[in-house]
Amino acid sequence: MNKKCILVIDDEQDMLYAVKLQLEACHYKVLTAQDGQEGLNIARKEAPDLVILDLMLPKLDGYKVCRLLKFDKKYSAIPIIMFTARAQQEDEKLGYEVGANAYITKPFDPKKLLGKIKELLGETS
């Protein structure tokens, strides 16, 4: 069976490392990017099954990356999970406005994140 591929975009290298370990332990293929532009390029090139996206990113912020993917027919079907330290309601609203499918705050509860991923990938356990 082909492994599902998840792209994680976060500017904190160690956070990327933590998420990567977590997801790999659950048998996902993980791609990583450290800024918005790089993330967008990889997303367009590799068309991952799901994107986990931090809000505050250098070069291109998370909202812009989200909008660029969601408003592009070729990629709009890719589920996006917004990922941020700010638990403010305004952020959440804005996240959904630009088309994010889910919203998870950092530090995340591994079970919650994995549950969301499974749900969005249609892998009901």
Partner 1 sequence: MENIPDMTRRIRDERQSEERLQTRQKREVLKGLDRHKTEFVSAVSHELRTPLSIIKQLLMLLYEETLGPLNDKQREVLVKMRHNVERLKDMIDKLLDVSRIERGKLKLHYSLVSLHELLGDSEDYFKESAQEKGIILKYHFPKEEVNIFVDAERVYQVISNLINNAIKFTDPNGKIRVEVKVLEAKIRIGVFDTGIGIAESDIPKIFNKFTQVSTRQDAAKKGVGLGLAIAKELVDRHGGEIWAESQLGVGSRFYFTLPRFYTADLLTGRLKESVNAFLRQKIPVHLINLLIVNYEKFKERITVAPHKMAGDIKGIIDASFKEFFGAGNGKRQLFIADMHSGKYSLIFPATAQEKVDGFCDLLSEKIKSYFITHKIENVFIALGILSYPPQSSLQAGPLFSANLNIKEIYIGAEMRRYRRIQYKTSVEVVSPKEARESCQSLDISQGGLCFISRRSFKTDAKIAVNFFLLKKKKVILAKGRVTWMSLMDRFPQDLTDKYKLGLEFLPLKDRDRKLLLQELELYYE
Residue 110 interacts with partner 1 (CB under 8 A): yes or no:
yes
Using CB under 8 A, which of the segments 18-26, 29-37, 65-73, 75-83 binds partner 1? Answer: 18-26
Residue 21 interacts with partner 1 (CB under 8 A): yes or no:
yes
Binding residue for partner 1 (CB under 8 A) from 106, 118, 120, 121?
A: 106
Q: Which is nearer to partner 1, 72 or 109 (CB)?
A: 109
Residue 38 interacts with partner 1 (CB under 8 A): yes or no:
no
Residues making up the chain, counted from first to last: 125
Six token digits for residue 90: 């305004």
- Restricting to residues 61-90, name those near partner 1 by CB under 8 A: 85, 89
Binding residue for partner 1 (CB under 8 A) from 4, 5, 15, 70?
A: 15
CA 4/CA 2 separation, integer angstroms: 6
Over 73-101, what HEC string results? CCCCCCCEEEEECCCCHHHHHHHHHCCCC
Q: Taken in order 111, 116, 118, 124, is the CA torsion positive or negative?
A: positive
Taking residue 91's Cβ as centre, other Cβ atoms within 10 Å add up to 18
Nearest distance in Å: CB 108, partner 1: 7
Helices 89-97 and 62-70: crossing angle in degrees, nearest 10, is: 30
Residues within the interface to partner 1 (CB under 8 A): 12, 14-15, 17-19, 21-22, 25, 85, 89, 93, 106-108, 110
